[in-house]
Each structure stands twice: as structure tokens, then as C-alpha cells.
Structure 1
Amino acid sequence: MSSGSIEWVTVLSPLPTGPLTVGVTELGVATVQFTPESVPDGAPRCAEPHRVAQVRDRFAAYFAGAARELALPVDWRLTNGPHRVVLETLYRTVPCGETVTYGRLAQRSGVFEGVAQSPGLAARTVGQMMGANPLAVLVPCHRVVAADGLGGFGNGRVALDVKRWLLTLEGWLAPTLDWDGPS
């Protein structure tokens, strides 16, 4: 594998979306996709057994509730500029079991300082950045919530169910009667 290429690993997941596809490089995880069809046709599969096992084992431990963080190296190549600053701030400052509002993450990142816009616009911009997070789950955009509730998560009902599932796994939301995750 050259440091410039992304290779793919399929990871089983209990999420409502099913298996994840994880793009890895020599530097770490570059992308996590909820839908296998988002991986380009003919994209190379990761053939390094150690790397495949590491990615699958860490996700399995996290989804089983045995690990609070994925603890995988991150390759930030698919992010840049303010988007990267906001994602790195989220990654560094919001641990498992905690959440942050869109507006607070905007403030914390410093990206919007000195920019003539309302706090609401900064919060909405952060929401759009979370929707474009190429490192979902690993860089925990599910931990970013609205000031008055969960907020969004991707498109549609299934995406919001994924956010609820992850926040329940991490102990931020209480399990409901239909919770199908680890106890």
C-alpha cells in the first residue's frame, strides 16, 4: 500500500445501516462510510491482515461496549481548512459519554472568531460540517447535538436512529425498551 492510496475494509456493525466500509491508509483511517455503495467500484480491498484485524477488532470492541473509544490512528487527508479544524476540535475535546452543541463546538473551534455572522449561522455551519464528516463514528459527529435536542444526523430517519444508537451505547441516552445494543 502506498501512502497515497485508500484501501477498504468491511466492518460488521449492529447499526441500523448495517456494515460499515472503512477506508485505510498507511497513516490510519481516512474515511468511514455507512453505505457500501459509496465506495467506488473496483476500489482496492485492504490485504494487510494486521491492519484489517486492527480495524475490525477495534470497531467490534466499541460496538460491544467493551471500549469507550476506537483508538485508531486518523488520516485527515479528506479534510482541510475550517472543516478540518472543527473536526479536530471535536475529536480532541468531546470524549465518549459527553456531547457538545453545534454552537459550542463552533465557539470552541475558534473558526468563526472575527467572522461577521450570527451564532445561529455558525451553529448551522457546524451542522453542515458534521454532515460532511468523512470520518463518522471515529470523529464522533454523533456527539454534536442541538441546543434543544438531538439535532440531525445525515439524511433521513435511519441516520437519526444511528445517532440515537451510538449515543445510547455511549451512555448519553438511556436505553429504551427496543434497545438492541450491549447491556
Structure 2
Amino acid sequence: MAVLTGSCRFGLWHVHVAWQDDLVYRVRFARTGLEGPVPEEILLYCAGRRADLSSLRSVATGGGSTFAAIYRAVRDIPSGETATYGDIAQRVGTAPRAVGSAMAKNPTPIVVPCHRVVAKTGIGGFTPDPAIKEALLAMERREKGRS
């Protein structure tokens, strides 16, 4: 089976997804849409509805590298909650800067919810726009408050 690509909306952004079955290869935010299907759980999530993203796998979490361990730890952060770069570094046994580097290189945001990793003194960065990070966290907190 071929890798599928498509996009859905999240606010003013389009969320592009490359995936096959339950394995997600790439997620990125763009200003323009992309024709094609998107996994149902990502569609639900981007619409602000209850979604079980743990049913999706990420290419980033496989193997024994430090980045893979960081991505697995980030997947454990519950929806609507945050952890600092230092918290994740302590769990994995690395430095906060390594966590920041892994988050900047995360190929599958949302599936590996790097928006839930924040700086000790503020929101931290997010590509392509930190406002997306704030909107994702706000959406998750609203959804969590409804449950």
C-alpha cells in the first residue's frame, strides 16, 4: 500500500499528513491545503473533538536513539497538560537542550505532541508559529474541561 497524503484545517492553518495505515511519517502546518485523506483521529483532533491519537504510530518513536526516547516520553504527556523541557530531559536522562533540538526536528507534531513541551519561563517555540502551540493547548484544555 502506498503512503497517503492529505490535509485538514486547524484554524487558519492546514495540517498536512503523510501516512500509511496507523503509521504517520510526517505532519506539518501550512497556509495552503493538500487534497487527499487524513487519519480519522487527526481529523477529529483538529476539529476540537475527542480523539485517541495513541492509536497512531510515529516514525519518530522507533529505535534506541535519544531523540526516539524523547519522543516516546512526550507522547506520555496527557492531552491538555504540559511538561517542561527539563522535565522531559530528566525522564530520559539527557539535557533540556537535547529535548529542544528533538522538538524542533519532530517530524510528526500532533502525533508526538511537542506543543505540550514548554519552557520553564514561558510557552517556548513552535514551528512555523508559536501561536499554533498556544491554540493547540487551549483547544486541549477546553476539551479536557468538557470531559
Measure the CA separation in 2 of the matches of 1:141 and 1:76: 15
Structure ID, larger Rg: 1
Asked if structure 1 preserves the Cα contact closer than 8 Å seen for 2:8 and 2:46, the reply is no
Aligned residue-pair number: 140
Percent identity reads 31
Q: Structure 2 regions of 5+ residues with no counterpart?
A: 143-147
Relative to 1, partners in 2 of residues 1:68 and 1:25: Cα closer, same or farther, differing over 3 Å?
Answer: closer
1:68 is displaced (CA, Å) by: 4.7
Asked if structure 2 preserves the Cα contact closer than 8 Å seen for 1:20 and 1:34, the reply is yes
| Per-residue CA distance 1:40-64 (angstroms, 9 max, x = gap) | xxxxx87xxxxx46x0x32222123
Measured on the aligned residues, the alpha-carbon RMSD in Å equals 2.7
Measure the CA separation in 1 of the matches of 2:41 and 2:51: 10
Relative to the length of structure 2, the TM-score reads 0.80
Asked if structure 2 preserves the Cα contact closer than 8 Å seen for 1:29 and 1:72, the reply is no
Asked if structure 1 preserves the Cα contact closer than 8 Å seen for 2:60 and 2:68, the reply is no
Relative to 1, partners in 2 of residues 1:26 and 1:162: Cα closer, same or farther, differing over 3 Å?
Answer: same
Alignment of 1:71-110 (within 5 A): 71-76=54-59, 81-91=65-75, 93-110=76-93
Alignment of 1:41-80 (within 5 A): 52=37, 55=39, 57-76=40-59
2:108 is the alignment partner of 1:135: yes
Q: Structure 1 regions of 5+ residues with no counterpart?
A: 40-44, 47-51, 113-121, 173-183
- After superposing on structure 2, the runs of 4+ consecutive aligned residues of structure 1 that deviate more than 4 Å are 77-80
1:8 is displaced (CA, Å) by: 3.3
1:125 is displaced (CA, Å) by: 2.0
Relative to 1, partners in 2 of residues 1:65 and 1:26: Cα closer, same or farther, differing over 3 Å?
Answer: closer
2:96 is the alignment partner of 1:123: yes
Question: Relative to total residues, which structure has the larger strand share, 1 or 2?
Answer: 2
